[in-house]
Each structure stands twice: as structure tokens, then as C-alpha cells.
Amino acid sequence: MKKIYSPDRSEWNRILERPTQTVADIEQTVEAIFKEVRANGDATLRKYTEKFDGVVLENIVVSKEEIAAANTLVSEDLKSAIQLAKKNIEVFHRAQKTQRVSVETANGVQCWQEKRPIQKVGLYIPGGTAPLFSTILMLAVPATIAGCEELILCSPPNKEGKINPAILYTANLCGVTKIFKSGGIQAIASMTFGTESIPQVYKIFGPGNQFVTVAKQIATKHGISIDMPAGPSELLVLADDSAKAAFVASDLLSQAEHGVDSQVILVSTSKDMIDAVEKEVEKQLQKLPRKEIAEKAIANSKLIYVEDDRTANDLINTYGPEHYIVCVENEGFFVDNIKNAGSVFIGNYTPESAGDYASGTNHTLPTNGYAKQYSGVNLDSFMKSMTFQKISEAGIKEIGAAIEIMAEAEGLQAHKNAVTLRLNSLNNE
């Protein structure tokens, strides 16, 4: 890991760059596959599944028999763990429900807001080096609580043409209505346009590699909403001498093992802590099954020393981490002053992996600095806020003249007339 001491503020943006390609670098590839999927549907999905996943599929639809078989392949211990996580995620997301907001803005003018579910949502679940069945919990559970009618799930198959049984078990448990063997750019394209097998959806959720991230952004050009441009995973840990170096190192490595383009950063006001964490990372790294992946991610990562808390907080807000662990004595200052972060984990005994799996918060979070303007997935992500209004005779008299004056000032005579006709009607009664 690269050590950086007391960097000048003018250097922060360069130091904090993510190891990702820009949209422009891979947009051409994405656009070409989108065009093909739109024109040829399932045939294109099979073509790219063979090319990228190494398997020829006759049918991309997951059958009821495959789901039933998956149920027998998942251990009882894992089923219990998934069910516990599901319960906690349900508790946290149900608590996010809000009642109708209603107010009389003026005499006789009643306005209110209600939330309605998005009818059709698409869930993208990575299934390559790490089959992320936990992401199904994070997406399907709030979608079900919100009342979404159709939950479409796409995930890439393995070389035997199968989807990991834990993914199928969790999807079935969480009320996913249809599951398809399709991954990467082509899966996002299929949910954008619809194919012979895969229905078009209104909003697409889920993390993925840089190609999936750009594909989701391209989907928005075609009238499809997305949760956020969530790309390669990232973590920033803030630690001082009150932290445990072994814990900090384990958190850094837990994100580094996600993929070679993941990024982890330690910010500290203690040079001793930086040295101790560096040694612990090397020690723990040797024992990881995904050592090769983690090593490459660690090469993109940094240990940054700053001299005081205020500088540390400014630097962290400049970065806007997806995951942010606060492990310092003065935790209140940092918790109160963080402005840009996807999810915050506080204290020595709050590992980021708790949020990934079972604490109840959502792990689908903004990456690549998007925490500065995006929220992580929550119950409202699956809903739309609709406004309503009802104006009585007294109400149109109350606000009518103001509407007429404003409409005329903007040169919109028909807008004015819509009010004038009503007011004249009331005056002639």
C-alpha cells in the first residue's frame, strides 16, 4: 500500500482518484451490445453468454425445478443465516415507511403526498468470482415491502449453465417473480428493452463491474431509471491509536477481496497506526483464498497520514466513500461532520461486513464519489412520491387572482383562462 504523509490540499483530488475507467472508455462497447439486444433479443443474450460466460444455453429462464433443486443444495446453516439477515433487513426497511403527508396550504386548498410502488423492477446480481446472494436480500426485501408487482432478476450462469444455488434460494425466499441466466451488459440491455423472455422493467437495481455500471448509465438514455451508478467497491477507514490494527486491516482486506478494481484507504492521525496496519495487512493477506485479487486491489490503495481531525474530516468529505468506518476516540466529531458517505460504521466492533450481510442497513451504495449526491438503496428507492390536490370553490377564489397574474406575466394566456373561466362561473351564480 502506498503511504502518503500530510498531503497538500491541492493534491487531494489526484491522490484520491479511483482506479476506474471513465464512461467514455467503454461506452462504445456498451452501445454496440445494447443495439444488438434491442434488435435480436434472446439470440444476442445467448451469443454473449457463450462468449463471456463460456456456456451455450438453450433456455435462459430458470425453471421451477432448478429452484427446487437449489433448495436442497443450500446448507441449513446458510439458510438460517440468510433468514436472520432477511429479518433484520425487513425490520430496518419497514421502519422507513411514511404516512401520507397532508396540508391545507390556503383556505380551501388541500394538498397531499402519497407514495406508490414502482410496478416493475429489475435486479442485477453479480455471480462471477463472488455470487452475491446477499444483494438479493438488500434489493428484493425492500421491493417487496414497497409493494412492487414484478421483481425480475438477472444473474450470469456458471460454465455448467447454472446459477449459484444460494442465489436461487434467496431469490425464491424474497419473492422474486422471474429469474434469468444473463449477466453483464447484455442483462442490463435486456431489462432496458425487453426480449422474448425477459420483460422490460421501469427501474434497474444492483451493483456490478465497470461495464455493468456504464450499461446502467446508458439505460437511462432509453427511459429506464436506475438506483445509482454503483461500480467497484470501496472502503475508507479512519483510525487513531484507539483502534485495533488487526481489525482495521481485516476491514481493508474485506473490501479488497471484492475485485481487482476495488479501492481501500486508511486515513489516520497516527503514524504508528499506519505502520501497524500495513504489517497486519501483509500478515492477513497471506491466508486469504482470494489473495491474488486482494493483492491487486491493495496495490491501488493508500495509507494517508494527516495531522489533525479537521483536516482528516475535510479529506474524507472530498473523497465521499461508499463505506466509511470511524474508529477513533473523538468519534462524535466525525459522525456529526461527515457530509459525503454511503454508509457509516462506528467503533471497533462494527465491521463493514455487518452492513454487507446482517445488521439490517442496505449494502447497495453509491461508489466513485457519487455519495456526494446519491443515497444508498432504501425503501423509497422502490417508490414514487405522488402529489394530489383538491381545491374547493372557496380555494379557487383564494388563489385564483395570483394564478391569473403569474400566468399573464409569463405570457401563458390559456393558463390564465383556465382560472378566469372558473372564477367568472362562480361570480355569475
For residues 266 and 398, membership in a common domain is answered with no
Q: Residues within the annotated binding site?
A: 124, 186, 209, 233, 255, 258, 323, 356, 410, 415
Q: How high is the pLDDT of residue 21?
A: 61
Q: C-alpha distances in angstroms, 156 versus 119, 125, 171? A: 24, 8, 14
Q: Does residue 381 lie within any of the structural domains?
A: no
For residues 58 and 200, membership in a common domain is answered with yes
pLDDT tier for residue 231 given thresholds of 50, 70 and 90: confident
For residues 221 and 353, membership in a common domain is answered with no
Q: Does residue 80 lie within any of the structural domains?
A: yes
DSSP reduced 3-state for 5: strand
Where b means 16+ CB within 10 Å and e means fewer, 60-71 reads bebeeebbeebe
C-alpha cell at 315: 479529506
- Check 36, 280, 322, 352 and give the catalytic one: 322
What residues have CB less than 8 Å from 412, skipping those under 6 apart? none
For residues 267 and 297, membership in a common domain is answered with yes
Active site residue 404: no
Using the predicted structure, report yes or no on whether residue 22 has a pLDDT greater than 70. Answer: no
Torsions phi, psi for 324 (to 5 deg): -135, 115
Instruction: Write down which residue in 339, 360, 381 finishes a domain.
Output: 360
Q: Residues within the annotated binding site for Zn(2+)?
A: 255, 258, 356, 415
Q: What is the per-residue DSSP string for 106-143?
A: ETTEEEEEEEEE-SEEEEE---SSS--HHHHHHHHHHH
Give pLDDT tens digits for 259-276: 888 999 999 999 999 999
Mean pLDDT of 11-37: 88
Cβ proximity of 134 and 365 under 8 Å: no
Q: Does residue 385 lie within any of the structural domains?
A: no
- Check 323, 331, 393, 398 and give the catalytic one: 323
Compute the mean pLDDT over every residue in the chain, rounded to the nearest whole number: 95
Domain that holds residue 415: 392-427
What residues have CB less than 8 Å from 325, skipping those under 6 apart? 235, 236, 237, 238, 239, 248, 251, 344, 345, 346, 350, 351, 352
Nearest to 276 by CA among 16, 288, 284, 321: 284
Q: How high is the pLDDT of residue 1?
A: 85
Q: What is the per-residue DSSP string for 336-356?
A: HH--S-SEEEESTT--HHHHH
For residues 290 and 188, membership in a common domain is answered with no
- Of all helices (H) and strands (E), which one includes residue 247? helix 245-256
Give pLDDT tens digits for 69-96: 999 999 999 999 999 999 999 999 999 9
Active site residue 323: yes
Give pLDDT tens digits for 57-66: 999 999 999 9
Residue with cell 446448507: 75
For residues 117 and 253, membership in a common domain is answered with no
For residues 191 and 55, membership in a common domain is answered with yes
User: What is the rounded distance in angstroms from the CA atom of residue 213 to the CA atom of residue 245?
Assistant: 33
Q: Structurally, how many domains does the chain consist of?
A: 3
Q: Does residue 329 lie within any of the structural domains?
A: yes
Using the predicted structure, report yes or no on whether residue 141 has a pLDDT greater than 70. Answer: yes
Instruction: Write down which residue in 360, 375, 400 finishes a domain.
Output: 360
Give pLDDT tens digits for 318-367: 999 999 999 999 999 999 999 999 999 999 999 999 999 999 999 999 99
For residues 49 and 114, membership in a common domain is answered with yes
For residues 167 and 247, membership in a common domain is answered with no
Q: Residues within the annotated binding site for substrate?
A: 233, 255, 258, 323, 356, 410, 415
User: What is the rounded distance in angstroms from the CA atom of residue 124 to the CA atom of residue 176?
Assistant: 12
- Helix 271-285 to helix 291-299 angle, to the nearest 10 degrees? 150
For residues 122 and 217, membership in a common domain is answered with yes
Q: Residues within the annotated binding site for NAD(+)?
A: 124, 186, 209
- Helix 23-40 to helix 42-53 angle, to the nearest 10 degrees? 130
Decide the pairing of beta strands 120-124 and 109-117: unpaired
Q: How high is the pLDDT of residue 129?
A: 67
User: What is the rounded distance in angstroms from the CA atom of residue 189 to the CA atom of residue 201?
Assistant: 11
For residues 97 and 213, membership in a common domain is answered with yes
